[in-house]
């Protein structure tokens, strides 16, 4: 790829590391943009150079850094500015190559409202919805009533579940729109939202496309992304157990038609909803690389990042639709720093021990290392574990076996949830829809076996000398004062398990996660009713409301807007009435 010599990567974590490695394979020098907290990360160490920035949302600083370091191109990864057409234009105006679609196509498709219009013009059915920015509050409520509940509030400028809220009662509409705007602004720098009818009992199916500047446009089959929580994907697989060859062809043709209508170039993903009767609707086209792209790489053998670099260099994809073939089955599990037992709220802490599975047919995408501190400033994704098998049962059993060997001790993760759901009959039989986690799955945290206690500071030579061998119950891994058992994380104090509860017996409301306090909405002496929002927190771009568990009077307030609080920190004390 002679035309790309030095690439700046405007991202962090596992995707930055993934792109650095693709650059090495392609003979391209890599430069990684790093914030202060990312300077010691794995991508920075592996890259050929770095530039310092204060934020991954600072487009101008990123482009100026790219020019200063001699880069000739920019790859945005996913998230942050990846779907920001203004950023893409800034890159091009600086004389650099943009590894992504043209800004015009990004404006047409990166904005979810505009993408719906493109799809309709291409003759593709869309989910009924409403662009509310052009209506008064009264008109929005009237049109929302016409659409009918349940509804989604969705961010116009981005995806990944950010800014999304469910409205089941129109009396909640105003509050949900306001909350969606706040989260969208925090995540994408753009607070615009729109309404969309929430279709239930449907599958989330997406189609990967690649288009170059020479007239080549191919789709690479579908991924089933129905297993979700908080409207974000957790497990993805390809091919979908619910898609037959006829539907696969129809969705692929629709994806290409939308992309071509928008003048798209590069890698993109068209997302659809499919019901039990085979009816389907277009949702959006993500104008970037997807987190779950490895499952399609696994079944097609096509490296998506290298394809992006090929297209950005102006070269022709040596590929046509007849050459796209799929072999076997692949499934990806996303490992998040979050606690499924508390509604998948983000967690954090220091990784005291990290064991990655070494398993045939398994790929682990991660930038996590032992000793890293997982904070609350970024998305909670820690790793992606991808398993390939000759068929679906083989891929599932291989993934479960690999996940059982993954140890992340010191930070609560969703590993226990993943192991649980991968063994659930509904999941094994391919019967889940997008609401399955919240309507079917019930967390069952296994009790820690007796005799498990903290191991002390592993860096203390006396501790190391005295505990060279510890006989632990099968399946338990301990590092310092943290333990992992069957994928679940535990905090140890002597031989007791520390419990973190949202509401304590003394009337305190505590932080359910490490977070920044966005607002405290009550004062000492205020009367509150059960369910009333008393505070709002934000961690990893996720906003959470703290609600009064019962009616009462605020006895004292221990936090204020802007405070950074630990999980379990006392926020407010209530006296029941």
Dump pLDDT digits (tens) for 187-201.
Answer: 777 888 999 999 989
Distance of CA 309 to the CA centre of its chain: 23
Query: Could you give the 3-state DSSP secondary structure of residue 572?
Result: strand
Between 423 and 156, the more confident residue is 423
Tell me whether residue 483 is exposed, middle or buried, using C-beta atoms within 10 angstroms of its C-beta: 0 to 12, 13 to 18, 19 or more. Answer: buried
pLDDT of the residue at 10: 98
Q: Do 74 and 63 meet the contact criterion of CB atoms below 8 Å apart?
A: yes
Cα gap 190→292, rounded to integer Å:
24
Query: Could you tell me the pLDDT band of residue 462, with boundaries at 50, 70 and 90?
Result: very low
Count the Cβ atoms, other than its own, within 10 Å of residue 518.
Answer: 18
Between 233 and 545, the more confident residue is 233
Tell me whether residue 473 is exposed, middle or buried, using C-beta atoms within 10 angstroms of its C-beta: 0 to 12, 13 to 18, 19 or more. Answer: exposed
Q: DSSP readout, 171-213?
A: GGHHHHHHHHHHHHHHHHS---EEEEE---S-EEEEEEEEE-T
pLDDT of the residue at 268: 96
Structural domains of the chain, ranges and CATH numbers in brackets: 6-98 (3.40.50.20), 128-197 (3.30.1490.20), 508-576 (2.40.50.100)
Query: Could you give the 3-state DSSP secondary structure of residue 462?
Result: helix
Q: Do 346 and 376 meet the contact criterion of CB atoms below 8 Å apart?
A: yes
Q: What is the mean pLDDT of residues 146-171?
A: 86
Nearest alpha-carbon partner for 395 in 235, 274, 207, 273: 235
- β-strand partners of 267: 210
Residue 532 token pair:
């009333």
pLDDT of the residue at 123: 96
Cα gap 274→271, rounded to integer Å:
10
Query: Could you give the 3-state DSSP secondary structure of residue 285?
Result: strand
pLDDT of the residue at 415: 97
Instruction: Give per-residue pLDDT as tens, 374-419.
Output: 987 888 999 999 999 999 999 999 999 999 999 999 999 999 999 9
Q: What is the mean pLDDT of residues 113-118?
A: 90
Pairing relationship of beta strands 329-336 and 232-238 according to DSSP bridges: antiparallel
Look over the chain and give the mean of its residue pLDDT values, rounded to a whole number: 90
Query: Could you tell me the pLDDT band of residue 281, with boundaries at 50, 70 and 90?
Result: very high
Query: Could you tell me the pLDDT band of residue 540, with boundaries at 50, 70 and 90?
Result: low
pLDDT of the residue at 568: 77
Query: Could you tell me the pLDDT band of residue 368, with boundaries at 50, 70 and 90?
Result: very high
Residue whose tokens read 């890259």: 47
With a cut of 80, say whether residue 500 has pLDDT above it. Answer: no
pLDDT of the residue at 531: 78
**Report for 108-117, 152-161, 162-171, 396-405: range of highest mean pLDDT:** 396-405
With a cut of 60, say whether residue 6 has pLDDT above it. Answer: yes
Q: Do 235 and 418 meet the contact criterion of CB atoms below 8 Å apart?
A: yes
User: Can you state the angle between helices 173-188 and 137-147, rounded to 10 degrees?
Assistant: 100
Instruction: Give per-residue pLDDT as tens, 330-356.
Output: 999 999 999 998 888 888 899 999 999
Count the Cβ atoms, other than its own, within 10 Å of residue 493.
Answer: 10
Share of the chain above pLDDT 90, in %: 68
Q: Do 240 and 223 meet the contact criterion of CB atoms below 8 Å apart?
A: yes
Cα gap 298→405, rounded to integer Å:
21
Around 561, how many Cα atoms within 13 Å sit in the side-chain half-sphere?
7
Query: Could you tell me the pLDDT band of residue 493, with boundaries at 50, 70 and 90?
Result: low
Residue 233 token pair:
């994907």
Cα gap 21→305, rounded to integer Å:
10
Count the Cβ atoms, other than its own, within 10 Å of residue 529.
Answer: 11
With a cut of 50, say whether residue 90 has pLDDT above it. Answer: yes
């Amino acid at each position: 790829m002679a035309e790309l010599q030095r690439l700046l990567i405007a991202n962090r974590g596992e995707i930055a590391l993934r792109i650095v490695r693709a650059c090495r394979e392609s003979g391209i020098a890599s430069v990684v943009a790093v914030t202060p907290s990312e300077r010691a990360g794995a991508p920075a160490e592996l890259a050929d150079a770095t530039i310092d920035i204060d934020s991954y949302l600072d487009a101008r600083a990123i482009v100026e850094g790219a020019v200063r370091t001699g880069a000739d191109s920019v790859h945005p990864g996913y998230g942050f500015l990846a779907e920001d057409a203004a950023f893409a234009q800034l890159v091009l105006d600086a004389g650099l190559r943009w590894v992504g679609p043209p800004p015009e196509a990004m404006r047409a498709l990166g904005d979810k409202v505009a993408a719906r219009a493109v799809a309709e013009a291409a003759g593709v059915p869309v989910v009924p919805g409403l662009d509310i920015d052009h209506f008064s509050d009264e008109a929005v409520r009237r049109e929302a009533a016409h659409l009918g509940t349940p509804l989604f509030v969705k961010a116009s400028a981005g995806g990944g579940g950010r800014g999304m809220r469910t409205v089941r009662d129109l009396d909640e509409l105003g509050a949900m729109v306001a909350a969606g705007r706040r989260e969208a602004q925090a995540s994408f720098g753009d607070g615009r939202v729109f309404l969309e009818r929430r279709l239930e009992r449907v599958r989330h199916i997406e189609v990967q496309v690649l288009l170059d500047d020479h007239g080549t446009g191919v789709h690479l089959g579908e991924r089933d992304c129905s297993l979700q929580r908080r409207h974000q994907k957790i497990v993805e697989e390809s091919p979908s157990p619910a898609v037959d060859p006829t539907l696969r062809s129809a969705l692929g043709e629709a994806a290409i038609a939308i992309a071509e209508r928008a003048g798209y170039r590069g890698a993109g993903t068209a997302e659809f909803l499919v019901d039990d009767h085979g009816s389907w609707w277009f949702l959006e086209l993500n104008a970037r690389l997807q987190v779950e792209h490895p499952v399609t790489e696994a079944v097609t053998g096509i490296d998506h990042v290298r394809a992006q670099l090929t297209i950005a260099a102006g070269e022709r994809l040596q590929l046509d639709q007849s050459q796209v073939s799929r072999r076997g089955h692949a499934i990806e599990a996303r490992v998040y720093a979050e606690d499924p037992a508390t509604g998948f709220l983000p967690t954090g802490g220091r990784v005291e021990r990290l064991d990655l599975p070494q398993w045939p047919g398994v790929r682990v995408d991660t930038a996590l290392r032992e000793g890293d501190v997982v904070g609350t400033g970024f998305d909670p994704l820690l790793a992606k574990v991808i398993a390939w098998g000759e068929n679906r049962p083989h891929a599932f059993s291989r993934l479960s076996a690999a996940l059982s060997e993954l140890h992340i001790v010191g930070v609560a993760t969703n590993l226990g949830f993943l192991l649980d759901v991968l063994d659930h009959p509904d999941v094994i039989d391919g019967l889940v829809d997008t609401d399955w986690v919240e309507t079917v799955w019930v967390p069952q945290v296994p009790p820690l076996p007796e005799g498990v206690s903290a191991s002390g500071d592993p860096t203390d030579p006396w501790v190391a000398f005295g505990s060279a061998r510890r006989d632990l119950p099968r399946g338990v891994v301990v590092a310092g004062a943290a333990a992992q058992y069957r994928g679940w994380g535990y905090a140890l104090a002597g031989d007791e398990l520390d419990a973190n509860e949202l509401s304590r017996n003394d009337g305190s409301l505590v932080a359910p996660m490490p977070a920044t306090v966005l607002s405290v909405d009550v004062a000492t002496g205020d009367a509150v009713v059960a369910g009333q929002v008393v505070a709002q927190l934000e961690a990893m771009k996720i906003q959470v409301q703290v609600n009064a568990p019962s009616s009462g009077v605020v006895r004292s307030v221990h936090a204020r807007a802007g405070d950074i609080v630990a999980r379990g920190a006392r926020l407010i004390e209530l006296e029941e009435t």
